[in-house]
Every structure is written in C-alpha cells, then in structure tokens.
Amino acid sequence: IVVRPTGTSLGVGEARKLLNEMQALVDTHKAEIDAGGLRIGFAGSFPLFVAEYEAIIHDVRDTALLCVTVVLLSILLFFRDIRSTISLGIAVLTAVAITFGITRLTIGYLNTQTAFLGAIVVGTGINYGLIYLARVQQLRRQGNDLMRSCVEGARTTAEATLLASAATSVSFGVLILAANRGFRHFGIIGGLGMLLCWVATFVLVPALLSIYEKVRGAPPRAVDPEEVGQKLLPGLRRFFRTPGAITGVFAVLTVISVVLFLRQLPNAMERNLENLSNELKGQETLLRDQSRAGTSLGQSTAGVVALLESGDEAEEFCEQIRKRIEDPRYSKLIESCTTLSSVVPRQQPEKLAVLREIVATVPDSVLLRLDPVLRARVREVRDQLAAQTPVAVKDAPQGLVDKFRERDGSVGKIASVTARPQAKLELGPNLEAFVQGVRNVPVHGRLIDATGENVIFADLLTDIEAEGPRTTLFSFLGVCILVFLFFRNVRTSVEIVGSLFIGVVLMGGVAAAVGLKINFFNFIVFPITFGIAVDYGANVVARIRERRGDVLLSLSEVGPAVALCSWTSIVGYGSLLFSLNRALRSFGWYAMAGEVTTIITALVLLPALLLLAKRRGVRAVESFPDRTSISDEGMKEGPPQP
C-alpha cells in the first residue's frame, strides 16, 4: 500500500503524526493481523525522515554532554583548581546558550550540520579562557591578589586571544559567501559563537572567580601550569639544540604531503554519496522494510519533477525526455517520464472514435460465425468498448491523480521523471549524468530544468569545486590581514602564518595518506582550520614578545596551555564521530587531523624558525616590555591577598 499525503511537504511533527495515526490503525486490527501471521511495517521517505531526525536529536544530546564533560575534566586536571574550571565552564556555556538563543530568533532552526556546532563552539571557544586562566594562575603564584591578577592577565592575553577569536570568526564567516544556506548558517552560528566566547571569558570569568573567592575564601597555593611548564625547559633546550634540522624535517614532510595531496587530487572528491548518508543504528526492521518496499514496487523511487505552465508543455517536456532516453548517455539512467495523461488520457474524442470504428467492424453477423464460447467473450469485449465514455479527472483514481496535483489544486502541469532501478544515482558520475539529462529541456522555445533531491545533491558536488578553493583563499587572506594588524611586523606575521600554512598542508597530506576524501560538507575544514589554528602560533609569539625574545622560556610557559587549547578543540571535533551522518564524521576526522598537525607546527616548527633566525642575528620577534611581573602603576590597590 502506497500512502501519499496531500498538500505541502511534511515537517517532522506532521510526519510523526501521520505515522502515529497509521500505527494506531494497525493496532486496532492487531488481533486479526496476529491471527493471520502477518506483520505490518512502514517504509519510505517519511519513516526514514522521522527515524533519522530522532536519532540526530539523541546524538546531539549525548555528544554535547560528552564534549562538555571531557573538556571540563581536562581543564580540572590541567589547572587542578575547581573554581577555575567551574568559572570557565559557566562562561563558555553561557556564550553557547546566547549563541543558540540568537540563532533561534534570527534563523529559527538548526539542521543536521549546525546542530553539532554546540560541541565545536565549546571545544574551541574555551581556548581563550584557557590562555587567560593560565596567566591569572601564574600571577597568583607570584603573590598578587585576585583583582591584580585578573586585570593584568587580561592586559597580557586579551589582544592575542581577540586575534584568535576574530580569525576564527572570519574563517566561519567566509562560509556566509557560500550558495548553500546550510553552510551560511554554519558560518553565522560558528562565527558568532567564537566572539561571544571571547567576550564571556573576559566579562564573566573574573566576576565568577571573585564571587567564588568571597564565598569560599582565597584558594590554597595552587599549582601553576606555567611553572610546571618551566620544568620542561631543560628538555626543550635539548630538543631544539639543532633548529635547522627540525626545520629540514618539516620541509621534507611538507614536500611529501604536497606530493600525496596532488596525487590524490584527481580523485579527492567523494563521488559515492552512499558514503555520506545517514547510518541508522538499531533500526534494522525499518531498513529491512525499506529494502523490501523498493523491491516490491518494481521501480525506482528516485526521480525528479518539472513544473510547467500548462498540460501541453508537460507533454512536450516528456516527449523530449523520451527522445533523450534513446541517447546511450541516458538510456541506462532514465526509466520514464509521465504526466497526467498516464492516468487521464489525452485526445479522448479521437480515441473514442477509433473504438467506435472497431465496434462497427464486429457486427452480430460476424459473431455468429464464432464458436459459442469465443462468441460470448468477443461480444462482452465489444460491449465494453461500445460503453466507453470520456474520462474526467474527477473520475480517475485520486491516488494516481495526486501525483500530478499542485498545492493550489490544479492538475496536469507536472512532469515526473523516474530513474531506472539500476541507475545507482548514489555514484557521483551517474548522478551528474542523470541531472544533465533532465536539465535544459527545450519546451516551446524555453529551456526547462527538472528539480528534486537528486538535482540538489548534484549541485552540491558542483558547488564544492567552485566554493571550496574560494572560501579557503578568503579565510587565509583574512587570517593574514588580522595577524599583520596585530603584530605589525611582516617577518613575525610571515612566520606565524607560514607555520600555520604548513600545518594545513600536512593535514592534507595525512588525509591523502589515509584515503580521507573531500565531500560536500568536510571541505569547510580548510577555511575553519586556518582561523582556529592561528590561535596557537599567535599565543606563542605573543608570549615571546613579552619575554623579550626568549623563545624556549616562553614556550615552556605557554606551551602546555596552548596544547590544552588544541586538545579541547579535538574533543569538540571528536564528538562528531558519534554522529549518524557519515559526512559529519568525515569532517570530524579531517578537523582532528588538522588540529594535530597545526599544533605540532605551532609548538615545534615555529619555535625552530624563530631560534634559527635568532642564531643568524635576525630579530624575529619584536620585543615588548616584560610584563610577567606586576607594577602598581595605573593599578588600584585591591584587597590584600589572604
């Protein structure tokens, strides 16, 4: 039994209501069904739609909870201070809540991709607070009170973290230029979330720390992450003894990555849409029913429709499609094209006249010559033909007519093109050829395109090839401009951006080595990685400026906090691996690879380049006054340290 709802396409609520009503009908006849040894199952787009939606809601809830838990535990283990963990956690979660509140007011909804942005914003947006808290704890260890520590911590970290936040927002923001609405929403929500996380860090964290201290008193002498990091200084000196060799190793790895990526480039795009679909778990019965339904119908459910101005245009459209079916390029892909005339025949007067002529050729005198049994059968057929009258739309089975009925009730102006069961439209080349076959169809002097889900997917594949390089370039240029505006030093900016670029190149090489392909969603990992990962090199260089060019001391102080920033981002991306959508999972893998490669270049390659320049007598980083100790100039006296 095929059920087709009338009216507009159904949302989740309407689809669930329809399924519930059908299930209630089945339940009322449960005794009869069980007695007959029968089982009633539902298949088709609506049951799959509802099952996937409910699975996504479950995934979003679980992954968000897992991400927040792992991130907060990581912060607690790093700082070993519950008040810092709680304060930063509240600040970031507040920023995320405001982000999605604004999203609800402006956009109004989330989709499969943007629903998981909460975990990404938490994992990445918390980075600014990590750098800030690491500085605050260092100042508290020096004996400064909370006010001085918070104010001076903000002075020394706000600019670098603002650069990171702005760069990340820019990398998300370039997605607004995409033609796809889902990508635009992804860019808007992600960019807004990063800026709000930065604001919440410097507005809420000091206030929350102050409230906590008034309630619970000053904390005991806590472990300073930067002091712990300084214990790494001897090891760092040994590791960076030959910065030239380190630079050479990265040069070799970069060349290998470029070669691997270029070799994969002709086949870098994922052309099998089956690898990007939703993977329902625990829905074996639904999937089995779906497979049986497709087999039982005897024809493909894949296809497209064309909306024409009149019934004559619909007929002309199908006539052109039938001509194209004779073309070998489309004969194995397109099954048929149907219009209302497949239910309500056209030219009925002419056809009825032909029937009357046929009836007239079989008079009773002819029937008398036939065998009695055959005579009765021929007379029955003749009488049925003679009784034929014109068939109106209202006389035809409405279940068949509804396929060609529009929202306003008009019928006959829709042409439906069906794919062959063996077309395998999940393969990119077949999909593109099928879409090409239903586009630019000449109808009465105009070119008409059919539309549908298959057309949209084909356009997505085409858009990636055009928008992927463009958005990546815009993101990279935006990051370059922001870095230069912040550091005001060409050499420093080139070193930061250069190490970042090499990290992204290494990401591409790793992805090519493991066979990870680019698809219609994960291509955004390239522009986003530029924006997020510039945070690491920027914070390292900012600390080097404050330490008057002491590369290894600065690295030992800020390196652990920067590494934690990358780890929390990895946790955010890692939550995508639990999604039922394969495209989202591939985005998670790609982004995690980028986090690993860019943090390595920021903590290894960038310091090596700076040390190499220093040995050659080049001032690689402009020095700022050392602000690791606090002066009273411009500071109001705060409450004494208890």
> Is the pTM higher than 0.75?
yes
pLDDT in tens, 72-83: 999 999 888 899
| Per-residue pLDDT tens digits for 274-315 | 787 777 766 777 777 777 776 666 556 678 999 999 999 999
CA 33, chain centre distance (Å): 43
CATH match for 47-277+457-615 among 3.40.50.1110, 3.40.228.10, 2.60.40.10, 1.20.1640.10: 1.20.1640.10
Provide the residue count of the chain: 642
Going by C-beta distance under 8 Å and a sequence separation of 6 or more, which residues neighbour residue 641? Answer: 143, 144, 145, 218
* Residue-level pLDDT at 500: 94
pLDDT at residue 624, as a whole number: 47
Burial class (CB in 10 A: 0-12, 13-18, 19+), 273: buried
Do 20 and 47 meet the contact criterion of CB atoms below 8 Å apart?
no
Pick from 174, 173, 177, 164: nearest CA to 192: 173
Q: Are 464 and 520 in contact (CB under 8 A)?
A: yes
How far apart (Å, rounded) are the C-alpha atoms in residues 307 and 404? Answer: 10
Amino acid identity, position 604? V
pLDDT at 315: 93
> Phi and psi (nearest 5°) for 109?
-160, 170
The answer to whether the CB of 492 falls within 8 A of the CB of 529 is: no
**SS3 state of residue 306:** strand
Q: How high is the mean pLDDT in each 10-residue block of the chain (642 residues)? A: 66 82 89 86 81 80 88 91 93 96 91 82 92 88 87 90 91 84 88 95 95 82 55 89 94 96 87 77 72 65 86 93 93 92 86 89 85 89 88 82 83 91 85 92 93 85 80 90 88 90 96 90 88 90 86 90 93 86 88 96 94 76 48 40 37
Roughly what angle, to the nearest 10 degrees, separates helices 551-574 and 127-141?
Answer: 140
The pair of structure tokens assigned to 488 is 């005001």
Q: Which two tokens stand for residue 253?
A: 């790895």
CA distances from 126 to 91, 182, 200, 503 (A): 9, 25, 10, 22
Q: What residues pair up with 419 in beta bridges, in sequence order?
A: 334
For residue 619, what pLDDT is reported? 60
Residue 401 CB-density burial (10 A; 0-12 exposed, 13-18 middle, 19+ buried): middle
Domains of the chain, by residue range, sit at: 47-277+457-615, 302-456
pLDDT at site 640? 38
3-state SS class at 415: strand
Beta bridge partners of 443: 446
**Dihedral over alpha carbons 504, 507, 511, 516 (to 10 degrees):** -60
User: What's the rounded Cα separation, in Å, for the pair 20 and 10?
Assistant: 14
**Can you say whether the dihedral through the CA atoms of 480, 486, 488, 493 is positive or negative?**
negative
Q: What is the pLDDT of residue 632?
A: 41
Residue at token pair 């397109």: 334
* Residues 114, 188: Cα–Cα separation, whole Å: 10
- At 455, give phi and psi (nearest 5°): -65, -40
- How far apart are the C-alpha atoms of 457 and 449, rounded to whole Å? 15
Query: In the beta sheet, which residues pair with residue 278?
Result: 581
Alpha helices in 299-442 (DSSP H): 311-325, 328-331, 348-360, 364-367, 372-386, 398-401, 428-437
